[in-house]
Homo-oligomer: A and B are copies of this chain.
Amino acid sequence: MTPEEFRRAGHELIDWIADHRTRVPDLPVAAQVRPGEVSAALPRTAPEHPEPFADVLADLDRVVVPGVTQTQSPGFYGWFPSNASLASVLGDIASGGVGALGITWQSAPALTEVEQVVTDWLRDLCGLSTQWRGAIQDTASTGCLVAMLAARERASGGSEHGGGLQALEAPLVVYTSPEAHSSVAKAALLAGFGADNLRYVEVDPVTRAMDPGALRQAMADDVAVGRVPAMVVAAVGTTGTTAMDPVPEIVAVAREHGAWVHVDAAMAGSAMLLPEMRHLFAGVDDADSLAWNPHKWMGTILDTSLLYVRDVDHLVSVMSTTPSYLCASTDAEVVQYKDWGIPLGRRFRALKLWFHLRLDGVEAIRERLRRDLDNARWLAAQVEAEPGWRVLAPVPLQTVCVVHEPPGLTGDALDAHTLAWVDAVNAGGRAYLGASRLDGRWMVRVSVGAEATERPDVAALWDLLRTTTARLAADGGATGRPGTVMS
């Protein structure tokens, strides 16, 4: 494709994107297809000859759009927000247009240094101390694994350069809470610790935050039988209920054993842009690593996950490999991001953050976050005030965990009712919610914070929840049909 052909097609595509964003509010929020439906709509073999751009563009509407959940819709309340601000989309487009290859500083100095600058900007905006240095990872799952490898190597005195985990005499142990994101257990398994060496520390039954006393006891129990506490993963904002683990107390306990503390603030990091929310980050400056995802609530399009560490030299000692064809005389003066993570090559992802922050400005982003916090508090207050409804967990951020309890319904019958109404809401196409288990029972998470969601949208959702549950109750309760979610 020539630049002129690209120019013509590119203009059409920009118009398609602008038009698509305009009509997203009118689209069903949940994807509308059955398993296999998308692949059945595509040919079995690749095209030998060029196809017209119009055909490809038409397939975006025919095949792709009905096949994705509209996370940019004002009716999207699933999982966590996955905002793709149009300013950051422009940055992503620029990244493709520049076409750089980030394997070393030398291959693309600007790719490296813009990343250094914007990660410093965001660190400072969050009120973190200047001892932190950041890099962009694809997701917080990868960031957690990288942090865990750094912790493993600190606790084992650099075992990877000798016999690895296979040569250790005293097993290393990782601690987290049962409310931690699934990526913590995944990272512990992938890093080689083994499930037997992963401890789920008790949480407070009300706040669902890790109990530091229980952490201290768990570590003492392990030490007593010859194991070594290597790491604690604390969540500032868990995935289920946005619970806040007490970082200062956790850091204090971990220090007694020299254990690494990783803070998962994938969702809550964005709230730290607001000075009035910074109290939730108390103690974080004393941790060892920190993950937060501007690609969630802040709205820099996926994939933009930040991993900050305090001891860069240690991280680099764990991750670096430098073959001769990647050596350069300027190595001592520059950052080599290949040594801050798993992949060698990287895209120019910093442009997404650079464009987003510059084109929207921080103040507008803060105002949007405040709007969402306010909307979540408003919704929680409505739910609390409504007979038959309950808010199941504190609402420190923008996610409200709710349950509707019709008189007499408990246990499995209540679970069936919960799944039935969340299914009915999602099938209706006007909103998308997620169900999740809490203390062994299903609840519904309303995660406010799509960029497009305003107060009238939240009010309409609340109406929808009440009318849907009332209708189901009138119909005689749960329908038993296959649900969006199941155990």
Q: Is the CB of B101 within 8 A of A97?
A: no
CB neighbours of A328 from chain B (8 A): 484-486
> How far, in angstroms, from A206 to B99 measured CA to CA in the complex?
36
The answer to whether A484 touches B329, judged by C-beta atoms less than 8 angstroms apart, is yes
Taking CB atoms and an 8 Å cut-off, the chain A residues in 1-51 that contact chain B are 1-7, 9-11, 13-22, 31, 33-39, 42, 44-51
Assess the B50–A360 pair: CB atoms within 8 A.
yes
**A78, B214: Cα distance in complex, Å:** 55
**Which chain B residue lies CB-closest to A52?**
B359
Contacts A117-B39, A197-B166 given: A18-B13 contact, CB under 8 Å? no
- A153, closest chain B residue (CB): B189
Do the beta carbons of A162 and B79 come within 8 Å of each other?
Answer: no
Contacts of A60 in B (CB 8 A): 94, 98
Give Cα distance in the complex from A322 to B186, angstroms: 10
Check B69–A6 contact: CB distance below 8 A: no
Q: Is the CB of B31 within 8 A of A110?
A: yes
The answer to whether A63 has its CB under 8 Å from any CB of chain B is yes
> Do the beta carbons of B67 and A108 come within 8 Å of each other?
yes
The residue on B at minimum CB distance from A78 is B107
Q: Please choose the segment from A119-127, A274-282, A459-467 that sits at the chain B interface, where 4 or more of its residues have CB less than 8 A away.
A: A119-127
Evaluate contact between B160 and A194: CB separation under 8 angstroms.
yes
Question: Shortest CB–CB separation between residue A183 and chain B, in angstroms?
Answer: 6
**Known contacts A51-B358, A329-B486, A344-B141, A110 near B38 by CB under 8 Å:** yes
Does any Cβ of B come within 8 Å of A347's Cβ? yes
- Per the 8 Å Cβ criterion, residues 60-119 of A in contact with B are 60, 63-69, 71-72, 78-79, 82, 84-87, 89-90, 92-94, 96-101, 103, 105-114, 116-118
The 0/1 profile, CB within 8 Å of B marked 1, for residues 370-409 of chain A is 0000000000000000000000000000000000000000
Are the C-beta atoms of A87 and B1 separated by less than 8 Å?
yes
A35 CB contacts on chain B under 8 angstroms: 105, 109, 330, 333-334
19 contacts between A and B (CB under 8 A): A16-B94, A16-B97, A46-B118, A46-B125, A47-B358, A60-B94, A67-B108, A79-B325, A89-B96, A93-B93, A106-B484, A138-B345, A139-B344, A141-B342, A162-B194, A166-B172, A166-B192, A166-B194, A182-B326
Q: Are B324 and A436 in contact (CB under 8 A)?
A: yes
Q: How far is the CA of A252 from the CA of B437 in the complex (A)?
A: 48
Task: Return chain B residues, CB-CB under 8 Å to A10.
Answer: 14, 17-18, 90, 93
Q: What 7 pairs across the A-B complex have the smallest Cβ distances?
A: A164-B194, A67-B110, A192-B192, A17-B97, A10-B14, A38-B113, A325-B436
Q: Is the Cβ of A1 less than 8 Å from the Cβ of B84?
A: no
Q: Number of A interface residues, CB 8 Å?
A: 170
For the complex, is A229 an interface residue (Cβ under 8 Å from B)? no
CB of A364 closer than 8 Å to a CB of B: yes
Give Cα A58 to B150, complex, Å. Answer: 39
Q: Tell me which residues across on chain B come within 8 A of A56, comparing CB atoms.
A: 354-355, 358-359
Distance A17 CA – B284 CA, assembled complex (angstroms): 41
Which residues on the B side are within 8 Å of A112 (C-beta)?
Answer: 38
How far is B51's CA from A22's CA once the two chains are assembled, in angstroms? Answer: 23
Are B196's CB and A31's CB within 8 A? no
- Is residue A428 contacting chain B, with contact meaning CB distance below 8 A? no
Complex contacts, A160 vs chain B, CB 8 Å: 189-190, 192, 194-195
Q: Please state if A21 and B3 are interface contacts (CB–CB under 8 Å).
A: yes
